[in-house]
Structure 1
């Protein structure tokens, strides 16, 4: 009999997931704790998110000797991605951090900033700061991003100074 998959320890994303804007990372496969701590934590003002995933296409590889057309892995793309933040009436909000054409990195720590956890590191350029206008919700700013190269996925989160996570 096959071994069953390990049961997941399910969690609620709000209050757990961390999302950071980090201006500089030397190697996205191994961000350092000091690079992470030089970033800005965004989760306390994030009201919505979209995208932030990669997908892979397939390429058909037909051969005359068979009616079946097998496929091989093809291009990897990233979904259009955005973060929506609460706008401040005095203008002191995410607009000062995520300015149009700013290049940097968005880090997702889905299970929190834990020493034994993993993170995804997205190299990005901010493409816009759209004002979300709706009569029935609080004012928001949507930052849209171009993902500029292959994200580093499931990268180990480095230990915090002093050894704690």
Structure 2
């Protein structure tokens, strides 16, 4: 099986509005989105976790489990701070709603590698440090509805 590194391949966008109720953006919505990819230093979360339910019974000392509720992991993106532009900070101001869209295998039309997370920006804060590293800031996101996973990347126009 061929393997690849996400660096240089995966694309990440912020889209203010997706018209489709299934949260799959059109090519026009992707084209008009804010491309976050180049400014990203780290990504945490943006996955679903299942809260399993333990189902013990009197017949066994083994505690079996069944699937329970799904919930989104705590999610954040760390960005490099730009000392000449505040485009990213403005697009991701606290309280802003929209969608974080991942093209996990790149912008490859029809590839079933598009994940779309409906979000609200919960907080945005600088990372202040005296270490020898680039200036960064973190946006924390609340996932507001069930994300769409493994959707097809829209066709190029």
What TM-score comes out, normalization by structure 2 length?
A: 0.90
Match of 1:77 among 71, 77, 80: 71
Does the CA contact (< 8 Å) of 1:51 and 1:82 recur in 2? yes
Match of 1:11 among 4, 27, 31: 4
Match of 1:24 in 2: 17
Match of 1:100 among 80, 84, 94: 94
Match of 2:116 among 113, 121, 124: 121
| Cα deviation digits, residues 129-148 of structure 1 (max 9, x gap) | 11011122111111111111
Match of 1:140 among 136, 144, 155: 136
- What RMSD in Å do the two structures reach over aligned CA positions? 1.5
Count of residues paired in the alignment: 154
Secondary structure of 1:44's counterpart equals helix
What TM-score comes out, normalization by structure 1 length?
A: 0.86
| Cα deviation digits, residues 95-142 of structure 1 (max 9, x gap) | 121111000000011110101312110000011111011122111111
Structure 1, 27-36 or 73-82: larger mean CA deviation: 27-36
Secondary structure of 2:89's counterpart equals helix
CA distance in 1, matches of 2:71, 2:54: 17
Match of 2:62 in 1: 68
Which structure would you say has the larger Rg?
A: 1
Match of 1:3 in 2: none
Q: Where in structure 1 are there 5+ consecutive unaligned residues?
A: 1-6
Match of 2:28 in 1: 34
CA distance in 2, matches of 1:134, 1:74: 41
How far does residue 67 in structure 1 lie from its aligned partner after superposition? Answer: 3.7
Q: Map 1:84-95; keep pairs closer than 5 Å.
A: 84-95=78-89
